[in-house]
A and B are shown apart, each in its own frame.
Chain A
Amino acid sequence: MTAAQEDPDWAGLRAVLPRATAASRPFWDGCRRGELLLSHCNVCGHVFYYPRRHCPSCAALDPGWKRSTGRGQVFSFTVVAVSFHGSGWESQLPYTVVLVDLDDGPRMMSRLIGPGRESVASGDRVEVVFPEIDGQRLPFFRKSG
């Protein structure tokens, strides 16, 4: 459960890995390629997160995918100081959970890593990164410019 060493910010990262469904699999496969994919309704154009088998705006089935720029700003954040997974998780503390408003529209929950992760403020600009944890790449964010 440790990140590959390709970026020093990723060293030692742990995560509970997602259990994908057939419908969400393309999202997680996109992370593997370094792409943040948002669901895109072919009928009404609604762009949404998280992926579903239908458009929650117009109910059309089989939405497609649109690649996000992966850039956005912090809507809210929390610096977590305690482990909810026993002592094995204490190496992660403190860590920062963020809600990011993507420039492409949707809001998503993620984790902020890298420099300044404990001194973040709402409105800060962030960009997606894809650290590999136990063979799975996860769409985390880091502060940008």
Chain B
Amino acid sequence: MPRVTEDVAIVGIGETPVGRLPGMSSVEIQAQAVLAALADAGFALSDLDGIINLDPYATPNSMFSTTLSEYLGVRPRFSTTIDVGGTVTGMTMLQQAAWAIESGFCTVAACVYGENTLTGRADNTQGLHMQNLLGGEEWEEPFGCQAMVIPYALVAQRYFDLYGAGPDDLGAVAVTTRAHALLNDNAQMRKPITLADHHASRPISSPLRLLDCSLISDGGGAVILVSGTAARKRGLRGVRIRSMAMRTTHNSAAVMPDISGFGMAEAARDAFASAGVAVSDIDVAQLHDAFTISVLVTLDALGFCPPGEAGAYVRSGATSLGGRCPVNTHGGLLSQAHVGGMLHIVEAVRQLRGAAGRRQVPDARLAAVSGNGGVFSVCGVMVLEQERAA
């Protein structure tokens, strides 16, 4: 069973404003997130000797961790850019940081993602182009599969057919997530929505409608990890990574397995076993929500409910604030901003610190974070825990 070292802690979180950030480049956004996280941790820029980031999807670059290091003004001993896929990349960055710190390659590492996806795209009349996202251009694009929503729509239709699920199940996720975003001052979406609003929203790719889709956002998020020794020396009590597990099963939607063949359930089983916890121990969960269907599939896979019953589980209020295990308390990719899952991690840490303000989950001790890249092509689950006083 994969184990994450217990002697590394998340001690800083940073989040830029989200939405439209005209005039800001991707490297500027990432630098702002890192500086915010360093300040939060109480470390100086000169303390930073590890940089791990993700290249912007909308404006691809090469050598982006090197670019960010120069722009920040640091000379890191460990630097790398990672792109495992979508919202798994964030936790993969944390994995690399933990290994780098544990093995002495660096002592203070920043993991960061951010870009100007909304204002910086070459052509705002199109969705985010799929090239370099799913990789299977030869076997997807000729058939009209040209945007991320189409593969997820195929998953949603399959979910409907398998379980007799329907639009009310998708809509419950949209409405619940929006209600959480209204408690987050740094969220793109400011208006409440109803199930009727969801059902009346514009059809995009059946059965998915506009309110089933995540946002396109400018923005960034970062976390700072240090060794336990470094944290103790400064009297910091950080958030520990109790476990992390991933599974890659495919990439292109053209060769997508059935929902039971996605890697999320295996990743969850490994992550919970490695941490020695059960899903019933999780107090708060930040789950991949690029589309509403993602949340249903993930709730099933993590074992919050029996397969196919995620819609009823969400409607029961279990994933709402005040419910059994609130999900996407910050408003998620659906209603806060789509910053590649980094803000899921930032929010998990914030909840475990007890610093989430109006949307705080009382006594949150254990958090689960899930991510997926492609169309459930690579799935990841991690368990985070606040360090207690010695």
Q: A residues bordering B, Cβ < 8 Å?
A: 15-21, 24, 49-50, 75-82, 84-87, 92, 95, 97, 99, 107-111, 122, 138, 140
Task: State A29–B126 Cα separation when bound (angstroms).
Answer: 31
Partner of A85, one of B146, B208, B256: B146
A97 touches B145 (CB 8 A): yes
Is the interface on chain B under 10, 10 to 19, 20 to 34, or 35 or more residues?
35 or more
Task: Offer 20 A-B interface pairs, CB within 8 angstroms, sorted by A.
Answer: A15-B143, A16-B142, A18-B139, A24-B138, A50-B136, A76-B157, A76-B161, A78-B154, A78-B208, A79-B206, A81-B206, A84-B146, A84-B147, A87-B125, A95-B144, A97-B145, A97-B150, A97-B153, A111-B144, A122-B158
A50-B150 in contact given A78-B205, A79-B205, A97-B145 (Cβ < 8 Å): no
Chain A CB within 8 A of B387 CB: no
Q: Which of B123, B138, B141 has the most CB of A within 10 A?
A: B138
Task: State A28–B127 Cα separation when bound (angstroms).
Answer: 28
**Which residues of A have CB within 8 Å of B207?**
78
Q: B residues bordering A, Cβ < 8 Å?
A: 123, 125-127, 129, 136-147, 150, 153-158, 161, 202-208, 252-256, 258
Q: Which of B129, B150, B157 has the most CB of A within 10 A?
A: B157
**Which residues of B have CB within 8 Å of A49?**
255
**Which residues of A have CB within 8 Å of B254?**
50, 108-109
Beyond the given A49-B255, A97-B150, please list 10 additional residue pairs across the A-B interface where CB-CB is below 8 A. Answer: A50-B255, A78-B157, A81-B202, A82-B202, A95-B144, A97-B143, A97-B153, A107-B256, A108-B254, A138-B142
Among residues of B, the one whose C-beta sits closest to the C-beta of A16 is B141
Q: Nearest-CB distance from B160 to chain A (Å)? A: 9
**Which residues of B have CB within 8 Å of A77?**
154, 157
A81 touches B203 (CB 8 A): yes
A107 touches B144 (CB 8 A): no
**Which residues of A have CB within 8 Å of B256?**
99, 107
**Which residues of A have CB within 8 Å of B139?**
18, 50, 108-109
**Which residues of A have CB within 8 Å of B141?**
16, 18
Task: State A97–B206 Cα separation when bound (angstroms).
Answer: 10
Task: State A74–B206 Cα separation when bound (angstroms).
Answer: 15
